[in-house]
Homo-oligomer: A and B are copies of this chain.
Amino acid sequence: MKVSFQLFNCAKTIAQLAKEKPTGQVVTVKGWVKHFRSYKNFTFMHISDGLSAALLQVVIPEPLNNSSHVTVGSAVAVEGELNPSVGPEQHLELVATQINVVAHNDRKNFPFSVRQRQSPDTLRQHEHLRPKTRSFAAFLRIRSNLKHFIHHYLKINNFVYIDTPVLTANDCEAAGDVFTAEKFEKNSALAYACDNILEDNTNEKTFFGKKIFLTVSGQLHLEAAACGLNKVYTFNPAFRAESSLTRQHLAEFYMLEVEQAFCTSLEDLMKLVENLILNCIKTVMHESVEDLKICQQYHQTVAFDDLCRIEKLSSFPRITFVEATEILQNSNKNFSKNLKHLRKEDERFLVQHFGNLPLFVTEYPAETKPFYMKRNQDNTCALCFDLLVPHSGELCGGSLRECNLDILSHRMELLKIAEQSQWYSELRKFGYPDLGGFGLGFERLLQFFIGIRNIKDCIPFPRWFRHCST
């Protein structure tokens, strides 16, 4: 593509100035005051333009300082000349000739001090002001960069980006913990739709004429798209109405979901996940290293060292569920032979057992896995994997999809979803290729990379049980 951009706004960012060091130039820089210290004949301040971790040191000669009324948190526009700095920490400083206070900061009424570290729990109570803190701004930039990279990676690998719907007639996977949506009617409190749901779930009074849910996964819709487009993905919000207050629950979260046609090998899928994650790590460590350091310092973790180790890997270890249970039994971990799934503590133990690296566990017992997963030949296990990682546990799950219409329909009848999702099983009639795919929790990826304890600090505006403040 030859698209020539003519950018409308030519002002350099602080990061660009720090890199290019155009000393002698007269520039106007706009941003927020982060530090401020007055001396006898002049004042130092550091300003951030929010676009990177870089701060610009500004020197304000005394006459100018008296008239400016600048405080920490003010939005300012500073004109001046860029000079080499004599200080050890920065290589450039702006000697101000004019300061315009765009907007004052009412520090007395600001709900928390910006001079000392505030706990994540404190900041979370003021989610609209969190982006003003250095650590959360750094986090948001990392999140943005990583999301851009994932889109880029999938594009160059020929995946087509499909918007799967939020509103759906399916509630297949969530086993009850789903949200339902209805048109809000001011005059009848929350819902006039609660009456007279008919046997077939239709209701003339509802907006859609039937029960509608907020999606828990775009996979079923993605499969429909993959049947025409081969390689597809979505990166949209998903919802779970779990009445839980733990540090691992969000009611609204983001999932990368990928679906690939002509896929007969679980190993191929795992290679794709592995390659994606290793490249994500490289991207974060090369593109966002300053922000990553700010975040990890704030969260007081050693995740950076972990990433350095993992970045050097060419693949992640793989074990089967049966092998996982043997390891757990041999380690006296109070693990019952009859257990058909891994508990959180089992997952943590396994990740540590393999040197605190990402770990694929494959082929879980068939009865614990969803109806759409293909089984092995003797029907004992699902052709699936989970990827377990440090800090966040299960990061990603994938499987080959059941392509046999009779087998799939039978499972769906047992679950009483055969009619509701008939469109989904019907895909098998019309040139349904072997499909395989996975879902990856984006907040968990960030939690893993940065070492964030509470998943609620991995999303700009977290929603969870009892909490939706903005």
Contact = CB atoms under 8 A, between A and B. Distances in A.
Contact of A268 (B9, B156, B433): B9
Interface in A3-22: 3, 5-9, 13
Nearest to A314: B6
A317 interface: no
B103 A431 contact: yes
Interface string A450-470: 000000000111010111111
Contact of A197 (B189, B197, B424): B189
Stoichiometry (number of copies): 2
Interface string A218-259: 001100110111110000110101010000000110100000
A344 interface: no
Nearest to A32: B431
A164 interface: yes
Interface string A64-80: 00000000011101000
Contacts of A30: 261-262, 433
Contact of A137 (B13, B129, B228): B228
B102 A433 contact: yes
A186 interface: yes
A460 B236 CA distance: 13
A261 B228 CA distance: 42
A110 interface: yes
Interface string A138-150: 0011011001100
B463 A156 contact: no
A398 interface: no
Nearest to A228: B131
Contact of A460 (B143, B164, B179, B186): B164
A182 B191 contact: yes
A190 B166 contact: no
Contacts of A346: none
A161 B145 CA distance: 8
A190 B180 contact: yes
Interface string A429-465: 1111110000000000000000000000001110101
A128 B423 CA distance: 7
Contact of A432 (B75, B239, B282, B433): B75
A7 to B, nearest CB: 6
A136 interface: yes
17 contacts: A8-B275, A31-B230, A51-B158, A73-B430, A103-B428, A105-B429, A128-B427, A130-B228, A137-B229, A141-B160, A144-B162, A162-B460, A168-B470, A179-B184, A208-B465, A210-B468, A220-B470
Given A144-B161, A176-B186, 10 more contacts: A73-B430, A148-B152, A163-B460, A164-B460, A165-B468, A169-B468, A184-B241, A190-B193, A194-B194, A208-B468
